[in-house]
Structure 1
Amino acid sequence: MSRDDHPGARIAKYRKLAGLTQRGLSLKIGYSYSLLHQVEGGYKAASPDFSAACARALHVDVTALTGQPYMTELQQDRLAELIRPIRESLDLYDLGADPNVATREAPQLVDAAAVLCQQVRAAHLNKAAQALPRLIAELSTAAYRTPSTELWGALGSAYRTAHDITVKLGFYDLSTIALDRMEWAAQRSSDPVLSAVRQYMRGLVYHREGEHTIGLRLVDAGHHLLRQGDASPECLAVAGQLHLGATVIAARARDGDLVETHLTEARDIAERIGEMGHVHWLSFGPTNLAAHEISALTEMRKYGKAVEKARKIKMPASWPTSRRAHVYIDRGRSEMETGRSEAALKSIAKARELAPQQTRYHPGARATIEGLVHQQRRTSDALGYISSWLGL
Structure 2
Amino acid sequence: MPLHTDEHTGARVAHARKVRRLTQRELADLSHVSYSTITKVEQGVMPASPSVIGALARALSIPVAELTGQPYLEELRRDQLDGLIQPIREALDVYDLGPDPDVAPRVLEDVARDAEQLCALVRATDLKAVATTLPSRIHEATTAAHSDASDRSWQVLASTYRTAYDVTTKLGYHDLCTVALDRMEWAAQHASDPVLSGVRQYMRALAYLRAGQYRTGKRLVSLGLATLDGAPSSRERDVASGQLHLGASVLCARSQDGDAAQGHLDEAERIVARTGPAERVHWLAFGPTNVGVHRVAALAEQDLYPEAVETASTLTIPENWPKSRTSHHYAEVARAQLWMGRTESAFKSLQHARKVAPQQTKYHPLVRETYAGLESAKRRMPETFLNFGAWLGV
TM-score normalised by structure 1 residue count: 0.98
Structure 1 residues 376 and 2: alpha-carbon distance in aligned structure 2, compared to 1, 3 A threshold: closer
Q: 2:159 aligns with which of 157, 160, 166?
A: 157
Out of 126, 129, 133, the residue aligned to residue 128 of structure 2 is 126
CA contact (8 A) 1:143 1:151 kept: yes
Aligned position for 2:321: 319
What are the within-5 Å matches in structure 2 for residues 272-283 of structure 1?
272-283=274-285
Rounded Cα–Cα distance in structure 2 between residues aligned with 1:53 and 1:122? 32
Equivalent residue in structure 2 for 1:43, among 39, 45, 57:
45
1:51 Cα offset (Å) = 1.2
Equivalents in 2 of 1:214, 1:78: separation in Å?
35
CA shift digits 1:191-245 (9 cap, x unpaired): 0000000000111111111111100000000011101112211111110000000
Look up the match of 1:352.
354
Is 1:270 aligned with 2:276? no
Q: How many residues align?
A: 392
From the superposition, tell whether residues 318 and 3 of structure 1 become closer, same or farther in structure 2 (CA, over 3 Å). closer
8 Å contact kept, 1:103–1:141: yes
Following superposition of structure 1 onto structure 2, how do residues 360-375 of structure 1 map, counting pairs within 5 Å? 360-375=362-377
Distance 1:300 1:163 in 2: 28
Correspondences of 1:1-392 after superposition (within 5 Å): 3-392=5-394
C-alpha separation in 2, matches of 1:49 and 1:313:
25
Structure 2 counterpart SS, 1:19: coil
Please say which of residues 73-82 and 171-180 is displaced more in the overlay.
Answer: 73-82
The question of whether the paired residues in 2 share the 8 Å contact of 1:275 and 1:285 is answered with yes
Q: 1:140-183: CA deviations, max 9, x gaps?
A: 11111121111110100100000000000000000000000000
Q: CA contact under 8 A between 1:48 and 1:363: conserved in structure 2? A: no
Runs of 4+ aligned residues of structure 1 deviating over 4 Å after TM superposition are: none
What's the offset of the Cα at 1:316?
Answer: 1.1
SS at match of 2:332: helix
Distance in 2 (CA, whole Å) between partners of 1:3 and 1:113 is: 41
| Structure 2 residue runs without a partner (length 5+) | none
- Shift of residue 129 of structure 1? 0.8
Q: Is 1:3–1:42's contact at 8 Å kept on the other side of the alignment?
A: no
Deviations 1:99-135 (A, max 9, x none): 1112111000001100000000011111111111000
Q: CA deviation at 1:97?
A: 0.7
Q: Distance in 2 between matches of 1:47 and 1:362?
A: 13
Indicate the larger mover: 75-84 or 372-381.
Answer: 372-381
2:63 maps to a residue whose letter is D
Unaligned runs of 5+ in 1: none
In 1, the alpha carbon distance for the partners of 2:148 and 2:365 equals 42
User: RMSD value over aligned CA atoms?
Assistant: 1.2
- Structure number with the bigger relative contact order (C-alpha 8 A, sep ≥ 6) is 2
CA distance in 2, matches of 1:187, 1:97: 18
